[in-house]
């Protein structure tokens, strides 16, 4: 018998709190570092006892799984990497006399930022992120050139905490100015005269709470406060109208928004568009003194587009331009000199609709596949008749097109190349429906190899998220093919909590309806087995962040239904987190989950499904749990506490692994190849758990 390393068992220290007369006992509360804010910035100050436990779990995982499956992980990693064209260039986007794009070079982890003249000549590297990264973690916040094309504002995070440091580079010299802006949320907006940048500052609890103006050549301490949000439940963002006339300051939570405009040329006072009202969401663009407003006003839950004069922005002056159409969700809008572009979703599939603002005629771009993903952009310029869109499906690699709004001509600019080879005809994409417990039809996207028999024998990787109204795109993924080539059916459950079927689909998966997210996912798993699409005992479920909450909930509710669970930075200690208003995301997320501090009903509802609080003495599936020490979104102690309690309570001998990245946060490793190693790890776990068929390389 091979020697088995003993799993770590965390000590228990009594800890109890009382809310609404209800006691909450939490013996693993000690894993939450009292100095967590400092740990986000300086991971080395993590208390020794907590570090010892996390490292013991890492050691156990390394001994029991990582080292025993190195060859399989390496094979998968090389397969995925072989599908990447490593020397990959983006498509130049023109802006005045110049064009900008990014490119990747063979063997490099991070992009180079390139500038050419408008016609693509005289290419110059204006930033090499590989040089800036050095060794260790490098979270790039992106870079924004100024209107004069002399400067580049850029930011990075060195430990995964998402506290970004912003710098300004002189493009001609390649040197950074002395200006250094700490504790930024990342990203910046330039004033029209290029003399200053506007940025969002994070508070001590990692909340984006105010906008400041930094005048080049001055100290950050002198930066003018442009806007400060007093409500901890509202996060602040900045942007700019495409025509460059206004800086957009938006604040809001998951259900409510408020927008101010600031003249990018003159500065001055902020102009409020519409005062916040609970449940009213809106966003703004401007053209020739007219505002175009994407809004859910007057019960337009799938949104509509209204217009009003910049001089009379009050909500009572808004006039409908694109009326609300139930079941057709408007996702985003782009306002150009002569056109209004909207990306919308109907019957679960996206489409692009173009409106000529001269004669108000409309047209759209049609696609044929059962399931696909679509994105649209216009680059930097306002006065253009060209839009750019990206199309892919689970079987079709990404394609980038330019579309001429005047002629209707569609030009293929770039098609994703798979160096190791890919034939779309070898794979099958399907969209099916599974009936939920209350009769709702839940869309499911399937991807499988044409040679995979759907006779009830195939293993399955079932992915889900189901929160914040985020829809899961049916796009092409170079990583999923490694599982599909080994006989897996890869399935996406488009469950309630996302907006896959419109805004109502989101409403029915949040707050008092949250349990629908979990029962939808369970219904999809049951449907796949009843229809003999996959094997009943070979489903591995995967989800991350709020999708990790899904993983925890279904594991408690139906542990018998899943062979394995992969929970990536899982939000599993929901009740305690929503009771802790000092944590970065807690106040803004009360509309999503409910506020258990003020509402006994919300407390009891969250307590009924919070994964950590519902662990029981019973058999659980095999589980792999991944965490990040400096994660500000799902703090490391949530997965750590969950695993500790599972180790104490579970009655089975199935594997349970916790791997904490001690040098990264919510997004895991920062380099493109390092990320692939994490993907290879999760896939190797799924393959080993279900005993999937091996490829020749796996048997070496």
The CATH number of whichever domain residue 680 belongs to comes to: 3.40.50.1820
Average model confidence (pLDDT) for the chain? 95
Q: Are residues 49 and 91 in the same domain?
A: no
Q: pLDDT tens digits for 123-144?
A: 999 999 999 999 889 999 999 9
Q: pLDDT tens digits for 240-296?
A: 999 999 999 999 999 999 999 999 999 999 999 999 999 999 999 999 999 999 999
Give the structural domain span for 119: 86-126
Q: Is 561 a residue whose pLDDT tops 50? A: yes
Q: pLDDT tens digits for 32-77?
A: 999 999 998 899 999 999 999 999 999 999 999 999 999 999 999 9
Q: Are residues 71 and 103 in the same domain?
A: no
* Secondary structure element (H or E) that encloses residue 439, with its range: none
* Secondary structure element (H or E) that encloses residue 252, with its range: strand 246-252
Q: Locate tokens 């924004």: which residue?
A: 144
Paired tokens of 565: 């669970």
283 and 250 Cβ atoms separated by less than 8 Å: yes
**Would you say residue 466 lies in a domain?**
yes
pLDDT for the residue numbered 699? 57
- Mean pLDDT of the 497-518 span: 96
CA distances from 684 to 205, 566, 663 (A): 37, 11, 22
CA distance 36 to 43: 9
Q: pLDDT tens digits for 228-239?
A: 999 999 999 999
- Mean pLDDT of the 98-113 span: 96
- Mean pLDDT of the 632-639 span: 93
Q: Is 116 a residue whose pLDDT tops 60? A: yes
**Would you say residue 138 lies in a domain?**
no
Q: Is 516 a residue whose pLDDT tops 50? A: yes
pTM, 2 dp: 0.93
**Would you say residue 214 lies in a domain?**
no
**392, 545, 610, 670: which one is catalytic?**
545
Q: Is 631 a residue whose pLDDT tops 90? A: no
Q: pLDDT category, 700, cuts 50, 70, 90?
A: very low
Q: Are residues 572 and 647 in the same domain?
A: yes
**393, 482, 631, 670: which one is catalytic?**
631
**Would you say residue 100 lies in a domain?**
yes
288: annotated active-site residue: no
**Would you say residue 151 lies in a domain?**
no
545 and 561 Cβ atoms separated by less than 8 Å: no
Q: pLDDT category, 204, cuts 50, 70, 90?
A: confident
Q: pLDDT tens digits for 156-191?
A: 999 899 999 999 999 999 999 999 999 999 999 999
- Mean pLDDT of the 603-619 span: 98
Q: Are residues 587 and 670 in the same domain?
A: yes
Q: Are residues 536 and 606 in the same domain?
A: yes
Bridge partners, 605 (sequence order): none
CA distance 371 to 576: 39
pLDDT for the residue numbered 33? 97
pLDDT for the residue numbered 274? 97
Q: pLDDT tens digits for 320-354?
A: 999 999 999 999 999 999 999 999 998 788 999 99
Q: Is 3 a residue whose pLDDT tops 50? A: no
Q: pLDDT tens digits for 423-437?
A: 999 999 999 999 999
Q: pLDDT category, 8, cuts 50, 70, 90?
A: very high
**Would you say residue 210 lies in a domain?**
no
pLDDT for the residue numbered 357? 97
Q: Are residues 59 and 118 in the same domain?
A: no
545: annotated active-site residue: yes
Q: Are residues 435 and 509 in the same domain?
A: yes
CA distance 462 to 491: 5
119: annotated active-site residue: no
**324, 449, 494, 666: which one is catalytic?**
666
Q: Are residues 55 and 116 in the same domain?
A: no
Angle at 292 between CA 288 and CA 298, to 5 degrees: 150
pLDDT for the residue numbered 288? 97
**Would you say residue 174 lies in a domain?**
no
Q: Are residues 43 and 114 in the same domain?
A: no
pLDDT for the residue numbered 663? 85
Through-space distance between the first and last CA atoms of the chain, rounded to whole angstroms? 22
- CA 35 to chain centroid, in Å, comes to 27
**Would you say residue 407 lies in a domain?**
no
- Mean pLDDT of the 288-305 span: 97
Q: Are residues 640 and 555 in the same domain?
A: yes
Name the DSSP class of 59.
H
Q: Is 1 a residue whose pLDDT tops 50? A: no
Point out the domain boundary residue: 94, 126, 158.
Answer: 126
Q: pLDDT category, 2, cuts 50, 70, 90?
A: very low
Q: Are residues 444 and 481 in the same domain?
A: yes
Give the number of domains in the chain: 2
Bridge partners, 274 (sequence order): 259
Q: Are residues 452 and 432 in the same domain?
A: yes
- Mean pLDDT of the 297-321 span: 97
pLDDT for the residue numbered 396? 95
- Mean pLDDT of the 358-379 span: 91
- In 505-634, the DSSP E strands lie at 539-544, 564-568, 622-628
pLDDT for the residue numbered 4? 58
């Amino acid at each position: 018998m091979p020697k088995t390393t003993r799993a770590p068992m965390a000590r228990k220290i009594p800890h109890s709190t009382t809310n609404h007369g209800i006691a909450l006992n939490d013996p693993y509360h000690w894993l939450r570092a009292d100095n967590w804010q400092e740990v986000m910035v300086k991971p080395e100050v993590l208390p020794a006892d907590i570090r010892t436990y996390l490292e013991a779990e890492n050691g156990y995982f390394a001994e029991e799984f990582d080292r025993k499956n190195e060859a399989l992980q390496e094979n998968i990693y090389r397969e995925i990497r072989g599908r990447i064209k490593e020397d990959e260039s983006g498509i130049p986007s023109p802006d005045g006399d110049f064009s900008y794009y990014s490119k990747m070079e063979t063997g490099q982890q991070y992009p180079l930022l390139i500038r050419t003249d408008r016609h693509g000549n005289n290419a110059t590297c204006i930033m090499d992120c590989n040089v800036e990264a050095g060794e260790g973690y490098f979270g790039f916040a992106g870079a924004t050139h100024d209107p004069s094309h002399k400067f580049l504002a850029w930011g990075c995070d060195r430990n995964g905490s998402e506290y970004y440091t912003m710098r300004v580079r002189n493009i001609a010299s390649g040197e950074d100015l002395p200006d250094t802006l700490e504790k930024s949320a990342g990203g910046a907006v330039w004033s029209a005269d290029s003399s200053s940048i506007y940025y969002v500052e994070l508070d001590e609890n990692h909340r984006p709470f105010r906008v400041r103006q930094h005048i080049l050549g001055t100290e950050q301490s002198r930066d003018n406060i442009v806007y400060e949000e007093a409500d901890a439940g509202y996060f602040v963002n900045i942007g700019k109208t495409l025509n460059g006339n206004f800086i957009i300051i938006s604040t809001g939570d998951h259900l409510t928004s408020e927008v101010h405009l600031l003249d990018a040329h003159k500065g001055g006072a902020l102009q409020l568009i519409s005062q916040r009202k609970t449940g009213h969401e809106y966003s703004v663009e401007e053209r020739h003194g007219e505002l175009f407003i994407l809004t859910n006003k007057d019960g337009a839950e799938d949104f509509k587009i209204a217009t009003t004069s910049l001089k009379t922005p009050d909500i009572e002056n808004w006039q409908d331009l694109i009326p609300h159409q139930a079941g057709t969700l408007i996702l985003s809008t782009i306002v150009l000199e002569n056109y209004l572009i909207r990306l919308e979703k109907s019957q679960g599939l996206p489409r692009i609709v173009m409106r000529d603002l001269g004669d108000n005629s409309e047209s759209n771009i049609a696609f044929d596949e059962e399931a696909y993903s679509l994105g649209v952009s216009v680059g930097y310029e306002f006065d253009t008749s060209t839009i750019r869109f990206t199309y892919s499906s689970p079987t079709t690699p990404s394609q980038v097109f330019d579309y001429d709004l005047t002629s209707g001509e569609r030009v293929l600019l770039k098609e994703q190349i798979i160096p190791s080879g890919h034939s779309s005809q070898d794979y099958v994409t399907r969209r099916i429906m599974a009936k939920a417990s209350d009769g709702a039809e839940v869309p499911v996207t399937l991807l499988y190899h044409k040679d995979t028999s759907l006779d009830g024998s195939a293993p399955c990787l079932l992915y889900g998220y189901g929160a914040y109204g985020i829809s899961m795109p049916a796009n092409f993924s170079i990583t999923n093919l490694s599982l599909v080539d080994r006989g897996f059916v890869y399935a996406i459950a488009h469950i309630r909590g996302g907006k896959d079927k419109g805004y109502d689909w989101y409403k029915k998966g949040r707050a008092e309806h949250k349990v629908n997210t979990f029962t939808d996912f369970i219904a999809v798993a049951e449907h796949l087995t009843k229809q003999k699409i996959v094997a009943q005992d070979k489903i591995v479920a995967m989800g991350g962040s709020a999708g990790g909450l899904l993983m925890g909930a279904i594991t408690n509710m139906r542990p018998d239904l899943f062979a394995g669970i992969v929970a990536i930075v899982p939000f599993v200690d929901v009740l305690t987190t929503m009771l802790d208003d000092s944590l970065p995301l807690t106040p803004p997320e009360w509309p999503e989950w409910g506020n258990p501090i003020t509402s006994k009903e919300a407390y009891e509802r969250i307590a009924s499904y919070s994964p950590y609080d519902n662990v029981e003495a019973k058999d659980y599936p095999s589980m792999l749990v991944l965490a990040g020490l400096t994660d500000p979104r799902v703090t490391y102690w949530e997965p750590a506490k969950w695993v500790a309690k599972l180790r104490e309570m579970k009655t089975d001998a199935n594997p349970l692994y916790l791997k904490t990245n001690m040098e990264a946060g919510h997004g895991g490793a920062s380099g493109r190849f390092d990320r692939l190693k994490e993907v290879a790890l999760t896939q190797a776990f799924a393959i080993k758990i279900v005993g999937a068929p091996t490829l020749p390389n796996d048997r070496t």
